[in-house]
């Protein structure tokens, strides 16, 4: 039984917004908010592009996903995760997913299906990423913007616990997407 949901809340009124910092990739916006109960607060958030990025779950076979190992400047180490990237102007989700797959894994996909959209730290970021399942892969490498060759690591969907135990796997979006796809495969009758 699902818990009873509270009624929809009234969004706070935005009294003022201003950019307080900007870099090549990010801008920090300060919001002055008034909540429906009259309380006023200052919030800060990272502004992100209005076009969502994609996170690709490439299945090389029904039980095996392709992970990539690339440098994560935010955590200052090489990390295992799923291929991902920003959409280019005028590019759709499916085209972006297939392009990123070719650039980062060296495969294209004949079947690409958007599954869901995830956020990351919605309290201070508006970043959205669309999870795309990629199946029926074929070898196809195209040049990307990566500064070095990306290592591709096949991983069994049945061993998500083993992946979580690794020190070099920590991205929550990749983990959520892997659980979704593993459960989807099980619902399809595939023993993973």
Domain ranges of the chain: 13-47, 53-187
Distance separating alpha carbons of residues 54 and 174, to the nearest angstrom = 11
Higher pLDDT, 9 or 50: 9
- pLDDT-derived band at 123 (thresholds 50, 70, 90) equals confident
Q: What is the pLDDT of residues 66-93, one digit of tens each?
A: 999 999 988 999 999 999 999 888 899 9
Measuring CA to CA, which residue among 103, 119, 150 is closest to residue 53?
A: 119
The CATH code of domain 53-187 reads 3.90.79.10
Cβ atoms of 181 and 133 within 8 Å: the answer is: yes
DSSP letter, residue 25:
S
pLDDT per residue over 156-185, tens digit each?
Answer: 999 999 999 999 999 999 999 999 999 999
Which pLDDT does position 2 carry in this prediction?
67
Q: How far apart are CA 89 and CA 79, in angstroms?
A: 28
What pTM was estimated for this model as a whole? 0.88
Query: In b/e form, how buried is each residue of 125-156, taking b as 16+ CB within 10 angstroms?
Result: ebbbbbbbbbbebeeeeeeeeeeeebebbebe
pLDDT band at 1 (very low <50, low <70, confident <90, very high): low
pLDDT of residue 74: 87
Q: Which of 180, 178, 132, 173 is nearest to 157 (CA)?
A: 178
Give dist(CA 41, CA 191) in Å, integer. Answer: 51
């Amino acid at each position: 039984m699902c818990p009873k949901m509270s009624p929809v809340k009234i969004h706070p009124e935005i009294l003022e917004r201003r950019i307080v910092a900007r870099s090549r990739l990010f801008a920090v916006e300060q919001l002055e908010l008034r909540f429906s109960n009259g309380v006023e607060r200052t919030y800060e958030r990272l502004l992100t592009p209005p076009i969502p990025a994609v996170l690709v779950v490439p299945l090389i076979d029904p039980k095996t996903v392709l992970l990539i190992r690339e440098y994560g400047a935010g955590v200052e180490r090489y990390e295992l995760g799923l291929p991902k990237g920003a959409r280019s102007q005028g590019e759709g989700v499916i085209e972006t997913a297939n392009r990123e797959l070719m650039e980062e894994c060296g495969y294209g996909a004949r079947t690409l299906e958007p599954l869901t959209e995830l956020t990351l730290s919605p309290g201070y970021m508006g970043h959205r990423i669309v999870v795309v399942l990629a199946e029926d892969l074929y070898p196809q490498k195209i040049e990307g913007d990566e500064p070095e060759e990306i290592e591709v690591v096949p991983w069994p969907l049945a061993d998500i616990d083993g992946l979580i135990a690794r020190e070099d796997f920590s991205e929550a979006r990749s983990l959520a997407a892997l659980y979704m796809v593993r459960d989807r495969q099980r619902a399809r009758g595939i023993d993973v």
